[in-house]
Amino acid sequence: MEQGLSYWQFAPESQYLDRKSARKKPLELLRHLIAFANAEGGQLVIGIEDEKRNNIITGFKDGNAYPIEEFEKLGIKAVYTKKNAGNMSDYCPLENQVQGIQKENRKKLLEELNLEGKQEVMAFQTHSANVFVIDENIEKYYYEKECDIDGFLTKRKDVAIFTFYADCLPIFVYDKKNEVIGVWHSGWPGTFKGMMKSGLQKMKEVFGTVSKDVLMGLGIGMQQKYYEVGLDFYENFVNKFGKESELIQKSFKWNENTGKYHFDNTKFNEIMALSLGIKPENLIVSYEDTFGEIDELGNRSDKFHSHRREGKNAGRATAMISFLWKIDS
């Protein structure tokens, strides 16, 4: 007897039936299939969450980008694109690429996310700690290198903010009380200069934001395992933040084999966010690595653009944030 969708969504899970999110990695899904094969068989439903997440149908939407569900539940689309979405940055063209393809890639992304018609906002990023506000009086939407901008904030419902990455860390924010969204680019220079503090201070000054009301997402970036840095890098951070500080102790790791320090930009910003009043329950942290893990066959994943892995051949992902269009009932 053929079963309908509601059956697969709500039938009790058992040794013969299991549900898994489409976000699960292939190897994890394979383990479940092997378990079924070694027992008496069973059915694995992919694209429907389990009972702990209320059997939500997630399917395989946003295939070219990772959305942050906690933002989407509040009417905000916040995503980080995969490499297969293409190069997103106008100021980082790739050799032999189709002219203007970045604009087409951004347009396609907005269409896939049901955000057609949004005004794109972006800047030529300079690794600063400067955040700019797009208010109702602003009519300029692209900011050149001389503007020295690495992040934006807005209350406007008609814009989509684009920032660009190939290992650096995106910081997504939403002030739930004042309805302000933003995304900031924080590679190690931005982190060193205080992008986290600068961005939150700008929110406080312009919108009266209180940190406890901010939902924050630390997006996909390069993780500590492959983030090798020199002694000068380490000493500069130590001199500024203190060798015995939690920031340094938990963000740097000495590798005996290579004689190098490894930096954790994500952990550094996580600690900084909490110290500046972001509530733990409002902080979402991704540990995906743009550099790419090595699988069991020795192949390195190239799911994301990575400057450290690809050098000058690296395109740029986008971390994009926008209010969802409201649908009139």
Q: How confident is the model over 274-306, as pLDDT tens digits? A: 999 999 999 999 999 999 988 777 888 899 999
- Containing 6, the helix (H) or strand (E) segment is helix 5-10
Residue 164: give the domain boundaries.
65-227+264-323
Same domain assignment for residues 18 and 115: no
Written as six digits, the tokens of 240 are 């500024």
Distance CA 272, CA 246 (A): 9
State the pLDDT at residue 16: 83
CA pseudo-torsion sign 156, 159, 164, 165 = positive
Same domain assignment for residues 123 and 214: yes
255 DSSP 8-state letter: E
Query: Is the residue at 236 inside a domain?
Result: no
CATH at residue 162: 3.60.140.10
Number of domains in the chain: 2
Same domain assignment for residues 24 and 87: no
Same domain assignment for residues 32 and 161: no
Distance CA 85, CA 63 (A): 9
* Backbone torsions φ then ψ of 90, nearest 5 degrees: -65, -30
Same domain assignment for residues 76 and 26: no
Same domain assignment for residues 94 and 139: yes
Tens digits of residue pLDDT in 26-49: 777 788 788 888 888 888 887 765
* Backbone torsions φ then ψ of 277, nearest 5 degrees: 100, 5
Same domain assignment for residues 28 and 117: no
How many other C-beta atoms are found inside a 10 Å radius of the C-beta of residue 23? 14
Distance CA 322, CA 301 (A): 29
At residue 207, does pLDDT exceed 50?
yes
Q: For residues 182-189, give the mean pLDDT.
A: 98
Does the model's pTM come out above 0.85?
no
Distance CA 38, CA 142 (A): 57
> Are 252 and 261 in contact, with CB atoms under 8 Å apart?
yes
* Side chain identity, residue 131: V
Query: Is the residue at 251 inside a domain?
Result: no
**CA of 102: how far to CAs of 40, 84, 92, 143, 225, in Å?**
50, 13, 9, 16, 30
Where does the pLDDT of residue 22 fall: very low under 50, low under 70, confident under 90, or very high at 90 and above? low
Same domain assignment for residues 45 and 109: no
Distance CA 105, CA 17 (A): 39
Query: Is the residue at 256 inside a domain?
Result: no
Query: Is the residue at 71 inside a domain?
Result: yes
State the pLDDT at residue 57: 47
Distance CA 142, CA 138 (A): 11
Distance CA 91, CA 308 (A): 18
State the pLDDT at residue 148: 98
Same domain assignment for residues 86 and 49: no
Last residue of some domain: 31, 53, 75? Answer: 53
Beta carbons within 8 Å of 179's beta carbon, 6+ residues apart = 155
HEC sequence for 291-307: CCCECCCCCECCCCCCH
Same domain assignment for residues 139 and 213: yes
Tens digits of residue pLDDT in 60-94: 444 799 999 999 999 999 999 999 999 999 998 88
State the pLDDT at residue 31: 81
Query: Is the residue at 162 inside a domain?
Result: yes
Beta carbons within 8 Å of 228's beta carbon, 6+ residues apart = 255, 258, 260, 261, 262
Query: Is the residue at 201 inside a domain?
Result: yes
Query: Is the residue at 254 inside a domain?
Result: no
Same domain assignment for residues 142 and 222: yes
Same domain assignment for residues 100 and 223: yes
The mean pLDDT of the chain is: 90
Tens digits of residue pLDDT in 93-115: 888 788 889 999 999 999 999 99
Query: Is the residue at 235 inside a domain?
Result: no
Pairing of strands 169-175, 283-285: unpaired
